[in-house]
Each structure stands twice: as structure tokens, then as C-alpha cells.
Amino acid sequence: MCTVARDSGRQATMTTSGGTSDAVAFVGDWSGPVVATSVHAGHELRPDIAAAMVLDETERFREEDPHTDRIAAVVPDRVVTTRSRFEADLNRPRREAVYRRPEDCWGLEVWRDGVLSDELFEGSLETYDAFYDALAPRLDALAERGPFVLLDVHSYNHRRDGAGAPPAPASDNPEVNVGTGSLDHDLFGPLVERFMGDLRDASLGCGPLDARENVAFEGRNLAWWVHDRYPRVGCVLALEFKKTFMDEWSGELDEERLRHAQEGLAATLPGLHEELGRLR
């Protein structure tokens, strides 16, 4: 039976950051060089945003990344965010982070009056800023000790034609899309190759994962921000797990497939530590 690897030598703790405790929290002691985020896993909304929203909750859930926090949880040191991307999308540039009109979010009608008000818009930007303001000092301290990897865990839909329609072709939709569009390949290329190889290795985890690089996603704002702030030190691997671990239309979770994703990611951690050790 597959079991998710745990770091038994360290106890996971959760800490919050000042007045932003309801927006971002941190698990672990952050003493190691590998950390994880799952910034689209959240589903919560602050009350005034929830009151203004007309988007059906099922549709909202479909466009979020449910359960990616459980995949990221195989990494002892990680960020926990609970707010929905429909309040503030933490993986978009600040100017695009709040969905105000349908064209900002897959054509969906989200707001009661058609467009989000300026007041609510500013409140959502506060959520966005709180995340980056809390994350920066954590990563600053990490960067002072040398190169580090941030595993930015997401998921993506592959059945957009409808619940009864066939899924999108596997040829263009790997089980794990590894986004590396903005990282320093000259420096981190061997680390990326080791990571990809470990995901594909049938002897690790619960079997091989179909992992390919930059097929449909190359990483967005969180990766850009880390790579700009910590050149030749920070390495973000933006991971998009295909939603084979759940039914994206009904929301039903397949626990076995989720464990498969967890174990696959957990199996890459020793290799990441080895590669970072070489860089250090």
C-alpha cells in the first residue's frame, strides 16, 4: 500500500502573521530549503464579498483548486491560504488579481451588479497584499541560507466540454504540468531534470506520473515574484495536477487518486534536497 512520506523528526506547527491571520498562515518551522504553497485551494470569502456574489458555489468550486492543500501537505514547511481566488487571485499580477468583470474569469457572471464595486475591490487587494507581505520575510530568511525551492501546487480542469463529454486529449494534458517558464535554467536545470525524473520513476511513489514541462502552464505571478526577488537563489516549480483525483463537475473526490498525487510529490523531496545540497 502506498503511504505518504512524513518527516517524523519535525513537528508541524501553524503560525499566523499579525492582522492577516484569517488570510494566510504558515505550517512548520521553515528551517529546510523546500517549501510549498497552494494559493488556489481556498474556498472562503469575507462576508461583504460573499453578499455581493451571485456566482453559483458549485461553479466557483470548479474553478478553484480544491484539495491541492492536501497535496502540498507532504511538504512539512508550507503556506496555508483559505480565501477563494474569487476574492483575490494570489497567482496573478496585482493589477489583475481581483476579478471585476466576466472577462476577467472565464466569462462567469460573478457579481450582483455585474461589476465589483471600488470599495470591495480595494478590500480584496488588501487580502492580496496581506499574503505577499506575510510571505516576504519568511522567504527572505530562507534565501539568506542559500538556494531554495518553492513548490507552487495547483490543479487544472480537463473536462471543460461538460460532465458527459470526453476529457481533453492526454497528449496535451499531462497528469502533472511542471511550469518553469521564468526560472534560471542555467542554474536550476539539473534540479528540474531530477524532479521530473523522480515524478516519472515507476519505482518511486505509487508508480510513474505523466509529468511534462511547460505544456500548457509555465507559472505565473508567484513564480515571477520569487524569481525577481531572489535571482539565482529562489526556484519555483509551478505544479498543475490534472483533476483526475476528483470529478471536476460533481466535486466528488477520489481518495486513492489523491494519495497517488501526494505520494508522487513526496517521492521527489529527497532528490530536491540532494540537488539543493549540490548548489549550496
73-130 pLDDT tens trace: 999 999 999 999 999 999 999 999 999 999 999 999 999 989 999 999 999 999 999 9
- The span from the CA of 171 to the CA of 206, in Å, is 22
What's the whole-number mean pLDDT along residues 62-82?
97
Positive or negative torsion for Cα 236, 277, 74, 142: negative
For residues 64 and 85, what is the distance between their CA atoms, to the nearest angstrom? 7
Please report the beta strands in the chain, taking only residues with DSSP state E, as ranges in sequence order: 14-16, 25-27, 34-37, 78-80, 148-156, 176-179, 211-213, 234-242
Per-residue pLDDT band for 19 (boundaries 50, 70, 90) equals very low
Give me the percent of the chain exceeding a pLDDT of 70: 92
Compute the distance between CA of residue 117 and CA of residue 46 in angstroms, rounded to an integer.
15
Q: Does pLDDT of 17 surpass 60?
A: no
1 vs 229 pLDDT, higher one: 229
Q: Which three cell numbers stand for residue 187?
A: 542554474
Note the pTM of the prediction, 2 decimals. 0.94
pLDDT of residue 16: 62
Per-residue pLDDT band for 45 (boundaries 50, 70, 90) equals very high
Tell me which of 216 and 254 has the higher pLDDT: 254
The chain-wide mean pLDDT, for the chain, equals: 93
**Arithmetic mean of pLDDT, 30-58:** 97
